[in-house]
Chains A and B, each alone.
Chain A
Amino acid sequence: MAEEVVLLDFWPSMFGMRSRIALAEKGIKYEYKEEDLWNKSALLLQMNPVHKKIPVLIHNGKPVCESLIQVQYIDEVWHDKAPLLPSDPYQKATARFWADYVDKKIYDLGNRVWKTKGEEQATAKKEFIESLKLIEKELGDKPYFGGESLGYVDVAFIPFYSWFYAYEKCGNFNIEAECPKLIAWAKRCMQKESVAKSLADQQKVYDFVLQMKKHFGIE
C-alpha cells in the first residue's frame, strides 16, 4: 500500500519544523498543508479535536498530534534510516529529558522574551540565557546532541534557531556572545539539507513576531 503522509502545519512554528526535519531525515515524501490559525481548516479540527493545534501528522488517514510524539512516531515507523533516538534505554531517557527541557523551559522563556517588556522582560532574558547555557553544557564538545549524527534533541531544539534573531532583537542581546558553542552547533545543523529546508527564515520569523506584538498590543 502506498504510504500517504500529510503534515498540517504553520510556517513559523518551531514545533512543525521538528516534524519537517524528521520526515526529511528519513526521506519520507509528504504533503505539506499550511494552516491559517485564525481560520482553522475542517481537517485540522477533525484530526486534532482535543487541542485544535498544529502540527498534525496524518499517516494513512490516522492523526498523530504533538510534535515530540510525532518525531518519535516517525523514528519508530521508519526505523531503518537515520535513527533519531538511541537504542540504549538510559541514553533514550536522557534524550527525552532534554527534549522535554526544551519544551518546558526554553520555549516558555523565549516566549516571555518577546511578549513582555521592562522588568518582566529583563528577568525572562536572564533566565532564557541561563537555560541556553545549561543546554549548551549538555552538548559539551559533541558535534550534535545525538553524538556523531543528528538526534532527537537536535531535532527538538534546532527549530528554535530560526527564532533566535527575533528573540535577540526583541530582548536586545546577542546569543552568540553568550553561547558560542550553541551557535556553532546550530550552524553545523544548518549544513544539513533536512534542517536548512525545514527551518523558516529568521527575518521572516522576526517580521511575524512584530506583527504578533502589534496584534497583542505589546509594543
Chain B
Amino acid sequence: MKWRTIFSSKTMGDDEEVKVFGMWASPYSRRVELALKLKGIPYEYIEEDLSNKSALLIKHNPVHQKIPVLVHNGKSIPESLVILEYIDETWRNNPILLSQDPYDRAMARFWAKFIDEKILSTTRKVSFTTGKEQEHAIEEVTEQLKLLENEVKGKAYFGGEGIGYVDIVANFLVFWFGNLQEALGINIFSQHKFPFIFEWIQKQLKIDMVDECRIPKDKHLTYIRTRLAAFKSASK
C-alpha cells in the first residue's frame, strides 16, 4: 500500500510542485529529503515498495527504475548526487550546499563519490558476504573509513562552516552504519577507532533536520535482519 505525506513548513506556492519518490530505509533517498528539509522546501513524499515498483516511478526513471527520484514541476531528476546539486542550484537560499569555489567543489564531489562508490559499496559487500570474503570487505571498509576520518579531522563539517554536500552524503554514517553493525554482530566503526567521525556525528545530530531524518532504529534493525536472512537462504 503506497502512502503519501506532505511535509510543509510553509504553504506550497502555486508554481512549485516538488515530489520525492523514495524508500524509508534507503540512505540515498533520505539524503534528498534531508537536503530539501534543510532548505525549507515543502515536498510530497511517495514511499515506494521496491519489490513492486509503481508505474509512476518507472515513468519518472525509465533508465534505472530506482529511487530516489525528485520530480520538480513535472521534471524528473534521478540519481541522488545529481538531485543534491539540482536542489542546491535551484533553491539558492541557505544552507548553500556546495561552495562557489571550483576547487572546493571538486573536492566535495570527490569525497561524495568516494563515500558512494567505495564506502557504501564495500559496506554492501560486508553485509552480503561471509567468511574470507567478508573479512576482506571489513578490512577494505576500515581503510576507507580511515581516509574519511582523515578528511574530517579538525573540521566541524566536511565542507566548511555549516552542513553541506558531503555532510549530507555522509549522513549514512550517522544512522545506518551503527544499525548495520549491530545486526551483523561486528564492530568496525567505533568512537575509539574513529574519534573524528564520531565527533562529526555528534554535531550532525544537533541539527534539527538531521534528527528529523532519523531512521527508526528498531524498524531498521528488523528490516536489515530480514534482508540478511533472505540473502542467507537464497545463497544455500
Interface residues in chain A, defined as those with a beta carbon under 8 Å from any beta carbon in chain B: 50, 59, 62, 64-66, 69-70, 72-73, 76-77, 89-90, 92-94, 96-97, 100-101, 134
Contact = CB atoms under 8 A, between A and B. Distances in A.
B168 to A, nearest CB: 16
Nearest to A88: B89
Interface stretch (B98-106, B132-140, B199-207, B210-218): B98-106
Given A69-B106, A96-B81, 12 more contacts: A64-B106, A66-B109, A69-B109, A73-B103, A73-B105, A73-B106, A90-B75, A90-B86, A92-B85, A93-B82, A93-B85, A96-B82
Contact of A72 (B63, B82, B109): B109
Contacts of B82: 93, 96-97, 100
Contact of B102 (A50, A73, A93, A97): A73
Given A92-B85, A93-B85, A96-B85, A77 B102 contact: yes
A94 B82 CA distance: 8
Nearest to B114: A50
Contacts of B114: 50
The B interface is mostly helix, strand or loop, or mixed, namely helix
Given A93-B77, A97-B77, A65 B102 contact: no
Interface residues of B, number: 22
B190 to A, nearest CB: 23
A100 B110 contact: no
A70 B147 CA distance: 21
Contacts of B105: 72-73, 76
B103 A97 contact: no
Contacts of A96: 79, 81-82, 85
A39 to B, nearest CB: 23
A76 B106 CA distance: 10
A93 B147 CA distance: 29
10 tightest Cβ-Cβ pairs between the two chains A and B: A76-B102, A89-B89, A93-B86, A73-B106, A96-B82, A64-B106, A93-B77, A69-B109, A89-B90, A77-B102
A94 B75 CA distance: 10
Nearest to A89: B89
Given A76-B105, A97-B79, A134-B63, A89 B110 contact: no
